[in-house]
Structures are given as C-alpha cells and as structure tokens.
Chain A
C-alpha cells in the first residue's frame, strides 16, 4: 500500500486522543449520545424506527396484517437492530427434549441451535428441533381459551375448571411423561388440594415394559443412561436408537464417536442390527440380520444361552433355534471378546426387557456402558394406568379429564375408546397449543404457550437440570401449563415465581455456594448456560436381580405377514405434523415426502402384483382385527420378507391445513400385548391389493451408486488398519506425458486466495443420515417448501440433501440399479461443493455466479436471468431453481414461512427470499461468515476457528460436518484434513480425504472422508457385492 494523502475525520483523529483510538473501531462509539442520555434527535429517531421489529411481533397476532411500523418510544437496551440475541432454552414437543440456544433477531426467534454446554443432548439437534421454530409462528395455533368452542376469558375458564374440580367427581390429568420438576410440583399441589384428581402419563411410543423391567431388576422404574461411545460391540434388536429413541442427539453423538478414525484411534465399534424394517440404526449397522418380530424371542434367548454357556450361568429352556444362528453366534463371540458392549431391544415387554437386562448383566455392562444411577426421565408413561383410565372414562368411573399437551385420541391405539369416553365425561379440557384431535372433542381448551414463550425447568436425566426461558413474549392469548395448574389450585404465585422458589429452595442449596454470592447470580448463570448439573452422587453399579428361569417370555404366534409400526425421523410422533418443513423433509431411507406408506420387501411387492413406476405405486388395504386403512405400497430394500412397516405421525385429521389428510394414522395398529403397547403385530395382519394408482413424492428415486468409486469410496476396518488409503480411488488423466493427476492438468494459471479459504469436511463414517442438516439449512436460508406436487415434479428446493445409496449384487450394466435384498447403506451429505474451477460459473451468460476471493462460489440472485445452464452443468446437481413464485402465492400456501404474515416472522433477515425465475444454492452460509468476519474486524483480530460455522455443521448431532478456514493451519478442518498450502490451492494430505468426482478437476472445497465399515475380511454375500465396487 503506497502512502496516500490523509484527511482527518475530525480533530480527535488529528491529535489521535486515547478516546479516539479506543472507539475508532466500534460501530457505536460511546461518546455519541444514545437514547436515554444526551438529546440527539436524529440518532434517537433512527433507533426508534429501527427498533420497530419487536413491536411487530406482538402486533402480528392481530387478525389484519400490520402495514405500519410502530417505533419504540424507548429502545430496549438488549435489542440492537440487525444484531442477533441468543438465549439458552429447552426444546419441548410432546415428550421430546433437547437443550437448545435460540437465535432471535429484533425480538423474533428465527433459528434453534444445539446447546453445546449440554451433556444431556450433546450439542446437536434433530430435524424436529430445527423445525420447531416455525411451529411457533403456525397460524393454526389456538389463539385464546375456549369453552364449548366459544372464545372466553381466562378468568371465566378458571372458574369453570375450579367448579369441576371442586365438584368432587373423579378427574384425571392425562399427560405424556413429565420430566419438569416444577410442573410436577405444581401438579402435586393440585392433587394435594383435590383428592379426586389423579395423574396418568403415557407415551405415544411406550417404554412401559422396559420401565417395569427395570423396576423389577433394580427397584427403580426408570430408564438407564446408555453410553454407546465406549461400547466395542453394540447389538440392537429392533431398537432404533439413532432414528427414533428419546434424546437421540446424544446417541448419535456417542455412536459417531465410537466410529471415529484417525491417526491415533484406529478402532471402532461394531454394530449388529436384528430388525424387520430398515431403520436408521440398521442402515448404520456393520451386520444387519433380517428377522420377523415373532422371531426376536428366539434370537434373544439363544443369544442369552450362548453367553450363559460361556459365563457358566443358568440357561433358559425351551428355546427355538433362530433362522440365522451363524450371525447370532458371531455377535455372541464379539460380545464376549469386547471389554464393553451394549445389547438393546425395542420391544415394549417386561419379560423381554428383563432378558435383555440379564444379557447385559452377563456381559458386565452395568459397570461400563449402562448407568442406572443416571436415570433418563424422558419416558415414564405407564400403559396399565392409562388403559385403566380409558376403561374408567367409558365405565363412568372417571367423569372428567384434563389433557395436558397430549393428544391420546390421535396418538394412542385406544383413541376411539377415548372418543366414546369423552362423550360421557361431564368435564374435559385440553391444554395443547395446536388444534388437535383430542382438543377438538374436549369441552374446554386452555391453550398452552409454545416452548419459546415459556418459563420452565426440566430434569431429562436425573441430576442434569435444564432451563427453559421465553425468547419472545406470548404471541396469542395463551397461558403456560404451569400457570394454569397453579391457577386451578388457587395458588397466588405465578409460575415464574413458583419456578424460582423451587430452585431457590431445592436446587440452589446443592450448588457450590462459593461460586455464586447469591441466588440471583446462580439463577442468571443457569439461565445463561441453560443447563445445570447437580453435584454427582457417586454412581454405584448395582447388580440386577433376575431369575431368568421364571421369565415367561411372550409366545407370539408367527404369522405369514407381520406389521411393525415405526417412527421416522421427519414428522416423528406427529406432534408437529403441521410443520411443512418436516412434511417435506425426505425420509432418511425412502427419501419420500408428504406421505406415509407400507414399507414392503421388493420380493413381496412383486408377489402382490403391485405395479411400481417412477414414483408411482398402488394402494392396498391393511386390515388388523377390524381396523382397516387403504395405504400405498413402498418397496423397501432391506425390509424382512413377510414383514411390513408403517410410520406413525401421519393421518392427522384436525391439526391444520398442512398436516390434515397426509397419510394414514398408524397408532391405531399399535397392539396391546400382555398389557403393553407393542409396535409389532405378529398375527392377524391382512393385506389385499386395492390397486388404486398412487404417487409418492420422492427426492431420490434411484437406489444404488452404480459402482461409481469416484462418488462413494468405502472400505473395511481391517484393510484401513493396513493402509489408511484403503478404498480410495485415484483417477488419472492420460496426457502426452503419460498419466497425470487431474489437478496437474490445466490450461490456466489459477487464482490465489490471499485471506481465507473456506472449506467443509464430511466424514462419511460419522454421518448417520439423520437429515438434521437439511432442516437446519432450510431454517437458516429461507428455503421454500414447494409441496407434494412439486416434489413429484422433482423440484424440491433443499440446498443440502443426504444421498442414500444401497449396495447391489450386480457388478455391471443396468442391473446395478437394483439394490440387494439386504443392502449395505451409505449416506452422503451433498451440498454445493464450492468448486474452485466451477463449471457453473463458466457458463452463466450474465456472470450471475462467480467466485469469491475466499473460495466461495457466489450466487448473485438479482443478476440471475434463469437460463438454468449452471444447474445443467453442475456435476453434483445441487443447484435449485425457482420454477414459480413460492412466496406470497396462494398456490403454495403450505409454504407457511412465506405465505402468511405470522409465518414470515421466521424468515432470516440476513438471507434474501428468492424471486421467481432465479437459481439458488448452498452458500456455505455466507451471511454467517460475513457476520463473523465483521465481529472479528470490529475487535481488530482474525476470526477464531469455530466462532462461526455453517448451519448444517452446527446442527449435526454426530459432528460429521466440519466447516472452517483452510488457510488457518490451526483450524479443526486444517488439522483433520492435514491441509498443505500449495502454491495456489490447498492440498489435503489426510489419507481418507477425497473429492467427489475428482476426475473432473473442478477442485471442490468440500472434502469427504472414506466410509469404513467394521466387517471381517471374508465378506458375506451382500458385502461381496458392496466390495465389488469398493
């Protein structure tokens, strides 16, 4: 820089006072008057106008859209225009929990991030967590208390409720599992006040059997904490701990940790999955065995006997030999070999779970991987009690019910019984914040706050407390459940004070007093962190007391067709079914959206004579003891022959315009087996073809990767140990001077990135395919929802997708399109690769997409004329086109984040809402990069690695995505990839790192790490097929 003539901004600069130096880099220098102090009209008006956002939120609740901007008279000191605020809180939906950090802009929550301080949820999120922020702005939410469907005031409602409570007739509080200490306390007070009130809890997917088993074995009715990260061998019997279990963010994190490979850690866990449906867990298994639910007992008991014989423990008699005993024996030997292991089963039955406990006990896992002292309180429902309640309701023993944020009419198999019972009940009330099947039948509705509007505390895991604080004032005339309960027990205190008192009296004393000089300090600290861990009481490994001989294992009759109801990772249990982001999220395995369907093994589909086309299928009638639904068929490789799967969460009837009429309700097929709600129905399952044509919108219709090693590079552990480059594929270009690396051949001299060079690393070994990144990206980048028809037209807009590939038995030709019967699954997150030699840039006639000096492939929306040439020329097909105007367009009213004034509150102000006819794509969250750089600049420093990251990377529960500056030698990405600075471009020296389609020499800034499976050298049949490519 040559010295140029200087002009002073003022005298301060001339004599360069200390003050000046201090403030010269600040955006709002202190010596300038701000509101409150010194009178500077112009500046004040500026702040007034800019501050209107917060006001807008509360105003948006009104029926007519607000066109005027109402400025503050006095700007709240916490809210600065364009500067986001973050609040630690707890995500709650139904009985789903996650510790989160809420990002607000001008007082509007716009993004949910995982709370990295939480040991319980591990810092990641789930698709449901990410999407929950849109539900806050759901225009279908209940807006005020109602009696008999008519609007009323809270006081009138409270009078009515108190009258009912005081009447002395039997009233039951129904709820999902309650793990909020203060809510529990409030309820106890209520029940103390009214002896005629009792509490019943249940869970849509019940763990009642497991809980009872633990009560028998350990004397405490609670689920234990399981640590998958240290387990060397994991055996799962139909337990989808990655895709459907409570607190799965942690199990994903732990599982991924156990699979991480590097220079030091050359070991990884081995996962066996014995299951019928292809679950996320099964998809990540090293060995997957197809079993019918009716066979599980046989497998479990012979596994027990296998181990018992070695350990010299008594064995169980009368066991049948399982079909695939060779795999089971292998599992048994691995279990015995490994220092620590876990065996889990998804079956909700006391005796089966006792057997599982016995197995884990034989393996000594209660002193290693399973900790009963850290009880997981997320599931505590009791099937027996609930069934008693339903019977009582119908018999008239129970005359009233208060449904606390739960929806049993929809999400319990006995929903119909409750409907009939409610018609008899004299008093019924629902507190759910969304309209639902139960609330539509109750006489009163006392809508609850959304969790983002609530104060609350939780104890998801015993000893680990979690705070929930409002990040926005209530949008509608709703009232938090806690406050309602207090009001009904005529308590004077408001729930917030109640909460504080609880903490002051119960929690604060346990804290280390020297750290906090008073309770307020402690309280603020807890609010700031969002979590607080009680000083741990020494966990002593207790020995379960089980008499295996006395177990009466269910003798489930094997039918020729068995149904397994499952929960997928998109709409999950259906509580948030009215959330379009979740409805349009591709189901991790079938890649289907906007529907549920019968997953059937391809062989069976053929036998039934179902015609399968490109996203087109036919319907069948599924009938189980009287209940019958017409449902489309989805051929699912890896589905055990003779079994069918059906996902819960669909078939809502009064949830709102998005959810209603999507799919069928699978809850009704949850079977009551020996008093427990069982997901599996082993006999009496009838399916007959109806044959009505039906189309299911899928974002990916192909199954395999056609053996293209330049896309998926995988190997097995033993090979990797010998050669870290195992499974790598090195394309070479033939030139006049012989074969060369693609990067060595060029017509151009290339460009240097002097300052930053952003990159993303994707560890295929860590990615479990859960799909959280897709929704995180959708939230962050204002990505529209296009609806089922447009998905059928192959026009979904997601910027990051997860490609799911099955292995095939064929080795060449078009036959490679057909997946194996029991395929190995590989997930590959695919987003814009930010190619340094981007083919898309070259072909744009108007230079609307160009390269930044930091290696980013930029998209200039307002310059784009929409020739779509860039998308055609993109080898990764990650560019998305706005075929229609997706915002402010009645045709796309399901795109609720852009088509109603309330929904628009969720939009990220830092990201443009794209116009019709322009191309869009992943930008590496350039708005976050810029914000981070700006922050660093204001503080006169280089950006610190990890202080900002892309939405996908920050949401990933298994930490499979690492974003960072490849120019910074100390950044995590540079370390993991062993980045070497070339003369112009960077080179990754990590043996596992590769570029997808390296041969094209587009030089992406996204690196993938090879997928390593923990299998034996001598491969099994399906593995052979896989290795034929790898």
Chain B
C-alpha cells in the first residue's frame, strides 16, 4: 500500500538537546530505531542503552595469534628447517626474534580488529548507506523511529519529538 510511512525522523541541531531528547522519549516508552549524527556524540550510547563494544578483545586475540605465528615462523625457519651458523650465534637466537615478533603482533591486532569492525558495521567499498537524511553528514542529528516497532500513533510521536526540541519532524517512506 503506497504512501504508508515507515519511519518518523526527528531532526536535531544540537547534540545536548539530542541527548536529553533521547532520555525523555525513552522514558515515555518510545523505542528509538537509531540515531544518526555527523560526529561522535559523547555518551550517546549510554543514553541509547548500547553495550560497550568488544572490539578491544578481538584486537587482543588477533595480537596473540600474531605473536604465536611470528615466533613459530622464526624458530621454524632458522632453528628447524635450515639451521646455519651466523655470526657464531645459536641456531635459535631468541633476542634477535623480539623485534619481528613485536611488529607482527601489532600488525595482526590492528588489521584483525579493523577487519572485524568493517564486517560487523557492514562497511565495504561497494556498501550502499541507508541515508534517512543527507544532512546527517553535515550538521544535523536525526532520531529515527520505526512506526511498526512502536504502538504509539504517528501524531503523538511527532508531537513528542518536537516537544523534546526536534527542529523538524519528517517522515520517511522506503
């Protein structure tokens, strides 16, 4: 059925107003689909009740992997596969392995984490962003509310939004 509205968008100019708005609308039992901003708004995830990201743990794991692989490679190549007398050092001169091990640890950690981030946030070169309003990459904050997820009706939601400082209230049809 055409003309049916899916989302109501509250447009905010100021991040502080936005935050307070989030707080109050949630108190009024409104389910927020997502908030879109041109820059990171501090503390917004607490207001929206998002849990802290576990990406740092991912980084640590990848780091461990890097360390292991690095040591395995160096010991394997110099100590096991083809030992050579080099400068009178032992076949497995551990001190010499530290730099490469460190570097590979960092390499794995950072690439592992960033990779994971891209995947879970669905960021990819050919990715098409779902943009409710182009201004969110400029200076506007948008609070998107999914009608189907809320039992409140259109009018009361828009009223609630403007009451909480939304400069405009638009609706978005997909």
Query: Which A residues form the contact surface with B (CB < 8 A)?
Result: 747-751, 835-839, 841-842, 847, 850-853, 1003
Number of B interface residues in the complex (CB < 8 A): 9
Shortest CB–CB separation between residue B25 and chain A, in angstroms?
Answer: 62
A836 to B86, CA, bound (A): 9
Query: In the complex, what's the smallest C-beta–C-beta distance from B154 to chain A, in angstroms?
Result: 69
Q: How far is the CA of A842 from the CA of B78 in the complex (A)?
A: 13
A851 CB contact (under 8 Å) in B86, B93, B95: B86
By beta carbon, the residue of chain A nearest B85 is A851
B87 touches which of A749, A842, A852 (Cβ 8 Å): A842
Measured between C-beta atoms, what is the minimum distance from A468 to chain B in Å?
Answer: 47
Question: With A and B bound together, what is the CA distance between A842 and B93 in angstroms?
Answer: 11
Chain B interface helix/strand/loop/mixed: loop
Q: How far is the CB of B173 from chain A (nearest CB, A)?
A: 63
A852 to B86: give the CA distance in the assembly, Å: 9
The answer to whether A751 touches B84, judged by C-beta atoms less than 8 angstroms apart, is no
The chain A residue sitting closest to B78, CB to CB, is: A847
B90 interface residue (CB < 8 Å to A)? yes
Closest 4 CB pairs of A and B: A842-B87, A837-B88, A851-B85, A841-B87
**B89 in the interface (beta carbon within 8 A):** yes
- Chain B residues with CB below 8 A from A1003, complex form: 88
List of B residues within 8 angstroms of A747 by Cβ: 95
Closest residue of B by beta carbon distance from A753? B85
CB nearest neighbor in B for A985: B88
Q: How far, in angstroms, from A443 to B170 measured CA to CA in the complex? A: 115
A837 to B85, CA, bound (A): 9
- Whether A748 and B84, one on each chain, are in contact in the complex, defined by CB atoms closer than 8 angstroms, is no
Instruction: Find out whether the CB atom of A841 lies under 8 angstroms from the CB atom of B90.
Output: no
Interface string of B19-48 (1 = CB under 8 A from A): 000000000000000000000000000000
Q: Which residue of A lies closest to B77 (CB)?
A: A847
B87: chain A residues at CB < 8 Å are: 837-839, 841-842, 851
Complex: A853 Cα to B88 Cα, angstroms: 11
Contact B88 A850 (CB under 8 A): no
Q: Return B168 CB to nearest CB of chain A, in Å.
A: 63
CA distance A852 to B93 in the complex (A): 18
A841 near B86: Cβ-Cβ < 8 Å: yes
User: Could you tell me which residues of chain B, from 92 to 110, have a CB within 8 Å of some CB in chain A?
Assistant: 93, 95
Given A748-B90, A748-B93, A749-B90, also A847-B84 (CB < 8 A): yes
Bound-state CA distance A751–B86 (Å) is: 10
Q: List 15 A-B contacts (CB under 8 A).
A: A747-B95, A748-B88, A749-B90, A835-B88, A836-B88, A837-B87, A838-B87, A838-B88, A841-B87, A842-B86, A842-B87, A842-B89, A847-B84, A850-B84, A850-B85
Identify which of residues 63-98 in chain B touch chain A, using a CB-to-CB cut-off of 8 Å. 84-90, 93, 95
> What separation, in Å, do the CA atoms of A1003 and B89 have in the docked complex?
13
Query: B85–A748 contact, CB under 8 A?
Result: no
Across the interface, name the chain A residue whose C-beta is closest to B90. A748
Complex: how many Å from CA A751 to CA B89? 8
Bound: A310/B20 CA distance, A: 124
**A842 to B88 alpha-carbon distance, docked (Å):** 9
How far in angstroms is the closest Cβ of chain B from A847? 6
Query: Out of B86, B90, B93, B95, which one reaches A847, CB within 8 Å?
Result: B86
- Residue in A749, A850, A853 whose CB lies within 8 Å of B86: A850
Q: CA separation between A847 and B84, bound complex, in Å?
A: 9
Q: 7 other contacts beyond A750-B88, A836-B88, with CB at 8 A cut-off? A: A748-B90, A751-B85, A841-B85, A842-B86, A842-B89, A850-B85, A851-B88
Shortest distance from the beta carbon of B17 to any chain A beta carbon, whole Å: 60
Whole-angstrom CA separation of A749 from B94 in the bound complex: 13
Chain B residue nearest to A837 (CB atoms) is: B88
On whether the beta carbons of B85 and A853 are closer than 8 Å, the reply is: yes
- Shortest distance from the beta carbon of A926 to any chain B beta carbon, whole Å: 15
B89 contact set on A, CB distance < 8 A? 748, 842
B86 neighbours in A (Cβ, 8 Å)? 841-842, 847, 850-851
Which residues of B are found within 8 Å of A841, using beta-carbon distances? 85-87
CB-CB under 8 A from B88, the residues of chain A are 748, 750-751, 835-838, 851, 1003
Nearest chain A CB to B89 CB, angstrom units = 5
**Whose C-beta in chain B lies nearest to the C-beta of A1001?**
B88
- Name the distance in Å between A772's Cβ and chain B's nearest Cβ: 33
Contact with A along B149-169 (1 / 0, CB 8 A): 000000000000000000000
What's the Cα separation between A748 and B85 when bound, in Å? 12
Tell me, rounded to whole Å, the shortest Cβ–Cβ distance linking A235 to chain B: 50
Residues of B within 8 A of A851 (CB): 84-88
Closest to B93 in A: A748
Chain A residues, CB < 8 A from B93: 748
Min C-beta distance of B26 to chain A, whole Å: 60
From A839, A851, A853, name the one whose CB has the most chain B CB atoms within 10 angstroms: A851
CB nearest neighbor in A for B87: A842
User: Which residues of the partner chain B approach A853 to less than 8 Å between Cβ atoms?
Assistant: 85
CA–CA, A719 and B87, complex, Å: 38
How far is A231 from B24 in the complex, measured between Cα atoms in Å? 116
**Cα-based distance from A838 to B90 in the complex (angstroms):** 13
- List residues of chain A with CB within 8 A of the CB of B85: 751, 841, 850-853
* CA of A44 to CA of B88, assembled, Å: 48
Report how far A1027 CA is from B63 CA in the complex, Å: 62
Q: Which residues of B contact A748 (CB under 8 A)?
A: 88-90, 93
Pick the most buried of A749, A751, A836, A853: most chain B CB atoms within 10 A of its CB. A751
Complex Cα spacing A853 to B89, Å: 13
Task: Determine the distance from Cα of A837 to Cα of B88 in the docked complex, in whole angstroms.
Answer: 4
**Alpha-carbon distance A86/B90, docked complex (angstroms):** 44
Distance, CA A839 to CA B90, complexed state (A): 14
In this complex, what residue of B is CB-closest to A840? B87
Question: B84, B89, B93, B95 — which one has the most chain A CB atoms within 10 A of its CB?
Answer: B89
How far apart sit A150 and B90, CA to CA, in the bound complex (Å)?
70
Chain B proximity of A832: nearest CB distance (Å): 14
CA distance A851 to B89 in the complex (A): 10
Central interface residue in B85, B88, B95, by most chain A CB within 10 Å: B88
Q: Which residue of B lies closest to A1003 (CB)?
A: B88
Tell which of A847, A852, A1003 has the most Cβ of chain B within 10 Å. A847
Q: How far is the CB of B86 from chain A (nearest CB, A)?
A: 5
Complex CA distance for A838 and B85, rounded to whole angstroms: 10
A847 to B85, CA, bound (A): 10
B79, chain A: closest CB distance, angstroms:
13
CA distance A851 to B90 in the complex (A): 12
The residues of B that contact A847 with a CB separation of less than 8 Å are 84, 86
Closest A-chain residue to B89, C-beta based?
Answer: A748
Specify which chain B residues have a CB less than 8 angstroms from the CB of A850 in the assembled complex: 84-86
Q: Which residue of B lies closest to A844 (CB)?
A: B86
Q: Inside 8 A of B84's CB, which chain A residues have their CB? A: 847, 850-851
How distant is A853 from chain B, measured CB to nearest CB, in Å?
Answer: 7
Residues of A within 8 A of B95 (CB): 747
Q: In the complex, A874→B127 CA distance in Å?
A: 56
Give the nearest-CB partner of A750 in chain B.
B88
Shortest Cβ distance from residue A880 to the other chain B in the assembled complex, whole angstroms: 20
Q: A842 vs B95: C-alpha distance in the bound complex, in angstroms?
A: 13
CA distance A912 to B123 in the complex (A): 56
* Max chain A C-beta neighbours (<10 A), residue from B84, B85, B89, B95: B85
B152 to chain A minimum Cβ distance, whole angstroms, is: 68
Distance of A839 Cα from B86 Cα, bound (Å): 9
Q: How far apart are B107's CB and chain A's nearest CB, in angstroms?
A: 19
Least Cβ distance of A890 to chain B in Å?
39
Q: From A851, which residue of chain B is reached at the shortest CB distance?
A: B85
Complex Cα distance A683/B87, Å?
Answer: 61
Q: Which residue of B lies closest to A849 (CB)?
A: B86
User: Quick one: closest A residue to B88, CB to CB?
Assistant: A837
Q: How far is the CB of A548 from chain B (nearest CB, A)?
A: 67
* Distance, CA A748 to CA B92, complexed state (A): 10
Q: Which residue of B lies closest to A853 (CB)?
A: B85
Contacting residues, chain A, for B90 (C-beta < 8 A): 748-749
**Across the interface, which residues of B come within 8 angstroms of A839, CB to CB?**
87
Residue of B nearest to A852 (CB): B85
In angstroms, Cα B95 to Cα A835, docked, is: 21
Which A residue's beta carbon lies closest to that of B86?
A: A841
Instruction: Give B153 Cβ to nearest chain A Cβ, in Å.
Output: 72
| Chain B nearest CB, measured from A859 CB (Å) | 13
